[in-house]
Structure 1
Amino acid sequence: MKQVLSITPIDGRYARLTGVLSNIFSESGLIHHRIHVELKWLKFLITDLKVHEVVHGDKSLDLSGLDVLINDFNEDYALRVKEIESWTNHDVKAVEYFIKEKLDAAGLSPIREWVHFACTSEDINNTAYGLMLKKGKDMVVDLLKTLVAEIEKKALVYKSIPMMSRTHGQPATPTTPGKEFINFAWRLNQEIEVLESTVIQAKINGATGNYNAHLFAFPEIDWMAASERFIRDYLALEPILFTTQINPNTALSRVLHAMVRIAAVMIDFDRDMWGYISFGYFKQRVNEGETGSSTMPHKVNPIDFENSEGNMGLAISMMEHLAVKLQKSRFQRDLSDSTVLRSLGTVFGYFTIGIKNAIKGLSKVDLNQEVLDKDLNDNPELLAEPFQTVMRVYGEDNPYERLKELTRGRKIQKADLVRFVDGLEKVPPEVKERMRALSPQTYLGLAESLVDLYFKDKSKNDK
């Protein structure tokens, strides 16, 4: 019932595909990550910088309960934070008050005022979103690797099977389905590498990025080094020092732009698969009871690839906006980024739906070699390219023009090509024999070798 009432399809119709993102990008997920950062910062202050000990001389404080809180979270905590927010009207302040409640209950009241010490809300938000982005990025990489693995399986099975290619939609030089699949695997791998190598940056340097309050309270502490240590060692993120109140979101933009390029590749892949299915090159396995059309019972539509294409288009439009918008802020701070960041989960939702449906579509198709062979046999003019190339080598007059006259805009037969070859004057007999023996099925160039090279390079890189 809840899914039927959902405003967006991400939490409604496609909840089964996006539910895994809920713990990261939902309101509860954001609150969880904020609590985590606040408690980690508290622990850093007390145990690493020892601020409480320096001020109060108290070395006997039992902090075991703090670690329990750091590792403890459930949905009721998020509901309590929202309850507090209803009267604070400030989401991060609500998290602070919630943590103080938990500290009091755990017998840690002496350190309650160190919660949120010297922090602006953005110190907590940018680190929380950094942790969320890192998890989301890792999930996307795993999902993409699953897709690439499925594409590679198809490539290996189909690497030697001839297929007529199309340029401008028209019959062109033969290729193999395996080689065309590998093109997409290679392109996706390029962006997977970008995602994996992109470190997520975060800052914790105060209201305008200058450590003003930190330094005034504890001038003896090297706050730049301390903040770098906290972000690196306690949060496993990459510290950034040069900011205003907000993180300039360079890393986020890098991730989103890589995902934009991936989504563009995916749309290209979806459309090619759609086209190959419409030509009959691939057959789709039918699920019993499934309806292809409300009025045409015979139809088996390529709905998974269409779904993937549509959702990737939505993802691109949002990712492009976020990637540009979130690098802008008036002077040292405005809040226009805050409302936009809340849609980060929506972006990952559409992207995830797109990838998962492409994987699903791929799992339901089988090659129809009979149709591939028919297309090749029906288009012997595909051999005009190698013939005119060989004619150039041996000095035949006007090779391109002669083959153009023979083949352009006309359907020819194999016998027409044989007669044409017989009439050549300068091509050696043994080469003519190779030309007569050539067929679209054997005119594959190095398509198979390119598939082998891909896997050879991949094996080398994996080592």
Structure 2
Amino acid sequence: MSELSVKEAVEVKNIERRVGHDVVAVTMFLEKKLEERGYAALKPFIHFGLTSEDINNIAYGMALHDFIQTILTPALTNLVKEITALAETHAATPYLARTHGQPAVPTTFGSFLANYGYRLAKLTTKLKNLKPQAKLGGAVGDLSAHKTAYPQVDWISFAEKFVEQMGLECTSAATQVVPHERFSEILQTVAVIASVLANLCRDFWLLGALGLVEFSKPFEQRHSSTMPQKHNPLLYENAEGCFDLAAEMLSYMATRLLSSRLHRDLSDSVIKRFYGTAFALTLLGVKNLIQALGQTHVKADKMREEVEKTPEASAEILQLILRKHGVEDGYSLAAQAAEKGLDWLRETLSARGLDSSIVDEAAVARYVEAGFEKAVMLVERIRELVRGLNV
């Protein structure tokens, strides 16, 4: 039997309702199938020496690994590419950075986006390389029943080979359950990814509120039941909600599943049944975010204008230049110049017998150049990581 039909799955569920145990229902179904096909003599060897968790932990590991490799990693890689393309387009676009919500210093919008692209590419690479662990060890992990029944068999080697054939990493340090450290590392990595992407959604929301980006929509879509003019960041908000809930669920799972009373209790089984919900939320968030980025227009002229209208944003580099030239109160002078202007600073320096032309070294262009160089560097590093993902 390589496939299970819907009719057969219903049959298994009917058996489960009768016996109250999912794995026992499967074994009874398989025994029936062997008998129907003339292999009744093999019935005693179904589920031989195993416990339900020997089946379940391998099944969960395979399902999780397959989802990450074939669905989540490609989706995240596509998102990395979208962010990187936008970062490259705006590598030299002047952009006023904000810390604590207030104007800080100029950078480039490409540098800002490349930060996210690189972080996501690194996290995706880490996730792709994490292989779930599994165990095949019987009731308490010692393979004692197996060794008693067939002492001539090297059961440890058999278990390792079998688990590795399933595409998983075998661990012998197990009780009835597989130690959850590797599963937790995977869950926590996805939780971190979700948290990073939720923050990206919030940043674009704020950029929209600042008037630095705008959100398009298909003509027939309505973003308000009463205000026809509204162009809301709905996709960003939807993605943010998905990511936040996914991160909370996955973080809880990652820590809670490390706990197992003595050799086994069943509380973990309930929690694992919500893997699908948490991962589905993550995937939905990624898809919404990709779509949102495609419907976002970056107002580069507005960004450039904001930098030009905020000359005080160069106060940081100005105080460094002053201190570089031996002006001990350079920080204080730069702070005053942010309010009084550069002409006042030039006059102050001249009155002290200092070269006022040093003020010209603190040009906004230096910030933009540094931002551009960083954006280009990160974009290249991101592309190297994407090539390594091989999706």
TM range, smaller chain: over 0.9
Do the aligned residues in 1 keep the contact of 2:96 with 2:306 (CA within 8 Å)?
A: yes
**Alignment partner of 1:446: what SS?**
helix
Confirm or deny that 1:97 pairs with 2:22: no
Gaps of 5+ in 2: none
User: What does residue 456 of structure 1 align with?
Assistant: 380
Task: Classify the secondary structure of the residue corresponding to 1:383.
Answer: helix
Give percent identity, aligned residues only.
32
Counterpart of 1:347 in structure 2: which amino acid? A
> Using the alignment, how far apart are the partners of 2:336 and 2:384 within structure 1?
48
- Look up the SS of the partner of 2:97 in the other structure: strand
CA apart distance, 1:136 = 2.2
Equivalence for 2:12: 81
Deviation at 1:274, TM superposition (A): 0.7
Match of 2:160 in 1: 228
CA distance in 2, matches of 1:433, 1:90: 78
Is 1:310 aligned to residue 241 of structure 2? yes
CA contact (8 A) 1:162 1:444 kept: yes
Distance between the aligned counterparts of 2:90 and 2:78, measured in 1? 19
How far is the alpha carbon of 1:153 from its aligned partner?
A: 0.6
> What corresponds to 1:299 in structure 2?
230
Contact 2:236 2:292 in 1 (8 A): yes
Q: Does 1:444 find its partner at 2:368?
A: yes
Aligned equivalents of 1:76, 1:180: Cα separation in 2:
54
Q: Residue 103 of structure 1: CA displacement?
A: 2.3
Q: How does 1:269-348 map to 2 (within 5 A)?
A: 269-348=200-279
Residue identity matched to 1:323: A
Task: Tell me if 1:166 matches 2:105.
Answer: no
Partner of 1:421: 346
TM-score (norm 1): 0.79
SS of match in other structure, 1:424: helix
Give the counterpart letter for 2:91 in structure 1: K
Maintained 8 Å contact 2:138/2:144: yes
Q: Does the 8 Å contact 2:321/2:359 carry over to 1?
A: no
Deviation at 1:133, TM superposition (A): 1.2
Q: Name the counterpart of 2:325.
A: 394
Contact 1:422/1:432 (8 A) holds in 2: no
State the 1:370 CA deviation: 2.6
Distance 1:372 1:455, change over 3 A: closer
Letter in 2 for 1:447: G
Distance verdict in 2 for CA 1:427–1:217, change over 3 Å: farther
Whether the aligned pair in 1 keeps the contact of 2:131 and 2:169 (CA below 8 Å) is yes
Aligned 1:243-258 pairs, distance under 5 A = 243-258=174-189
Counterparts of residues 258-269 of structure 1 (less than 5 Å): 258-269=189-200
Q: How far did residue 430 of structure 1 move?
A: 5.6
Q: Deviations over 1:341-392 (max 9, x none)?
A: 1111111111112211111111110111232133122211112222221111
**Given residue 187 of structure 1, which amino acid in structure 2 is its aligned partner?**
R
Distance in 1 separating the partners of 2:169 and 2:215? 46
| Aligned AA (2:345) | F
1:201 maps onto 2:133 in alignment = yes
Give the structure 2 partner of residue 146 of structure 1.
Answer: 78
- Aligned 8 A contact 2:12 2:29 in 1: yes
Equivalent of residue 351 in structure 1, options 275, 279, 282:
282
Q: What does the per-residue CA deviation read over 1:217-259, in whole Å, with 9 as the maximum and x for residues that have no partner?
A: 10110111111111112x1111111111111222110101111
Q: Is the 8 A contact 1:163 1:441 kept in 2?
A: no
Q: For each residue in 1:280-313, what CA deviation from the matched residue of structure 2 results, as whole angstroms up to 9, or x when unmatched?
A: 1112122111111222222111111111111111
Residue aligned with 2:297, SS? strand
1:444 alignment partner AA: V
Q: Distance in 2 between matches of 1:218 and 1:293?
A: 71
Tell me how many residue pairs correspond in the alignment.
384
CA-based RMSD: 1.9
Which structure's relative contact order is higher, taking Cα pairs within 8 Å and 6+ residues apart? 2
CA contact (8 A) 1:394 1:427 kept: no
Superposition TM-score, scaled by structure 2 size:
0.93
Match of 2:145 in 1: 213
Q: Structure 1, unaligned stretches of length 5 or more?
A: 1-68
Call closer, same or farther: CA 1:262–1:448 in 2, change over 3 Å.
same
